Structure 1
């Protein structure tokens, strides 16, 4: 089995709208920290100098949102109420949604904005296959080429609400994208709203989750490494963050060889 990494890096040096903070305790600092914690909580004196090289273990502390890096959005991210009942948090979602056959749609020829049903239909016709229930549909927009730069958050293709509903009608429960969002970029949506006054152009892909329960994978990476539009299993179990609207995932494709 070949394992293809489909996850974008979490890098404090990269540009993010919500900056990542990465604090590091070296192994030597970790030894001192451990000695201080033992004294504080257990009343035990310990000299870290007795450890080999005076070192124990390093400790990394990251400060970041649950939507940083490759992550899975839960229904509770889309709103506090839904037509189908209480939106579930990420720790409540069924794990079998996240280990399923993948179906890759190539949208790299689409401009910045929101692709509609006709675009999805054309691509399904090209690959000669429609989604099966619970297939994980992946959108290859090409946006991951700009990871770590401001362009990653402003220049990509999303889906409109009708396109999301179209995919969900096949029984799909998880839709993934290599872009920052399954919706169009913020400036594009706001611009179309100001021109038309139509609130339906604002976050329609996310708000579709208020009508129908589904999850998104955002900020996938290197979808070009997949061997074709299908023929592999996507594994994207989200972190079990209790009460959270999203959870990080190390998304991969499993290819039998």
Structure 2
């Protein structure tokens, strides 16, 4: 069994998020914390600590949508399933967060391409696969190659409302992308809105969750390391009360072939 890590590391100040949404990490090393540590140990002095070392600790300023994370239906709209109160991240059934992974390779789609149901239908026909309830669909847009740069924000294709609902109607509860957003890059959606003033374009992939509940993962990486089918994916979120999302350590378990099963 091979475990494949599909999460980006949370890093401080990277331009891969808008300025107001960038994580910041305050690193407190062993020397810096020595005096603070002594407050918990009576009359001890710095001389009582080995080489004057305290403990290492970090303080983070980060949104629930920083790093690799999974969105709750509440992020998309106050209601889901046509009127029910939308679930926050602590309310979603845990069995949603693991299942067979199905990797969709859309790296051939240009940045800003709007994925429609026909794109998924053609892809699954090509790989001779029919989606099953509980499958977790992970879309590789190629955007993760731009992680760490400002270009990441405008990279990758994105899902239309119709395409999102098409997946959910196959019994899929959880989807994911290596891009910044499940939707098309927001600067591209904004340009299209300015041209058409069609309000249905605004955040359309996300808003599908108001019609039918689902969750999606953003900022995945390393999806090309997975087989198209055959791996088991885990994406349990940190349990944050009444939150719109939770950070995950996205991993997949992949069965390794015995030497006798490998082909030359």
Query: Which residue number corresponds to residue 24 of structure 1?
Result: 27
Aligned residue among 44, 47, 50 for 1:46: 44
Distance in 1 of aligned mates of 2:200 and 2:254: 39
Query: Which residue number corresponds to residue 120 of structure 2?
Result: 120
SS in 2 for 1:28: coil
Deviates more, 1:191-200 or 1:177-186: 191-200
Distance in 2 of aligned mates of 1:245 and 1:128: 35
Q: Normalising by the residue count of structure 2, what TM-score does the alignment of the two structures yield?
A: 0.91
Structure 1 segment 71-150 matched on structure 2, within 5 A: 71-82=69-80, 83-113=82-112, 114-150=114-150
Alpha-carbon displacement from aligned partner over 1:90-122 (angstroms, at most 9, x marks no partner): 111111111100001111111222211111111
Query: Which residue number corresponds to residue 190 of structure 2?
Result: 190
Structure 1: runs of 5 or more not aligned: none
State the shift of 1:84 in Å: 4.3
Alpha-carbon displacement from aligned partner over 1:177-234 (angstroms, at most 9, x marks no partner): 00000001112111211222211111111000111111010000011111x2100100
Q: Give the RMSD, CA atoms, in angstroms.
A: 1.4
**Deviating runs (4+, > 6 A) in structure 1?**
none
Distance in 2 of aligned mates of 1:92 and 1:213: 12
Structure 2: runs of 5 or more not aligned: 257-264
Query: Which residue number corresponds to residue 177 of structure 2?
Result: 177
Q: Normalising by the residue count of structure 1, what TM-score does the alignment of the two structures yield?
A: 0.93
Distance in 2 of aligned mates of 1:130 and 1:195: 37
State the shift of 1:45 in Å: 3.8
